[in-house]
Amino acid sequence: MKVFKTLCLFSILLLNATLAFGHHSASGIDPTGSVTVKGIVKEFRWSNPHCWIELEVVNAKGVTEIWNFEMNPPLLLVRAGFTRYSIKPGDEVEVTARPFVDARPGGIYVSVKLGNGETLSR
């Protein structure tokens, strides 16, 4: 019985260690850069481990691009004043973010200015 308990404990510890390595780093983000874009919310995902905003942004050439912004987990967003209903598809918002280093449209959000003028930030 002692061997069985030891194997179970070892299995649980090994599983947790594997999950800890699964989280990504911020090496793909420019921590010194900043980008601000205004657009229409295509999707807002309120989920763990991170919430996301998918934004339709019209670029300088008049072409609509999809920008993706990773946000904090729901618990931290609630502490910052967000609810799952703060941002809805069709809303016009302005997002300020730390951009991706590979120039993909998007980044890690810093703040979101809602249509009513309210700004929610980290």
pTM comes to: 0.77
Residues 92, 115 contacting (CB under 8 angstroms): yes
**Domain definitions of the chain by residue range:** 28-121
Three-state SS sequence of 70-96: ECCCHHHHHHCCCCCCCCCCCCEEEEE
Give tens-digit pLDDT for 33-89.
Answer: 999 999 999 999 999 999 999 999 999 999 999 999 999 999 999 999 999 999 999
DSSP character at residue 26: S
CATH number, span 28-121: 2.40.50.140
User: Exposed, middle or buried by CB within 10 Å (0-12, 13-18, 19+), for 112?
Assistant: buried
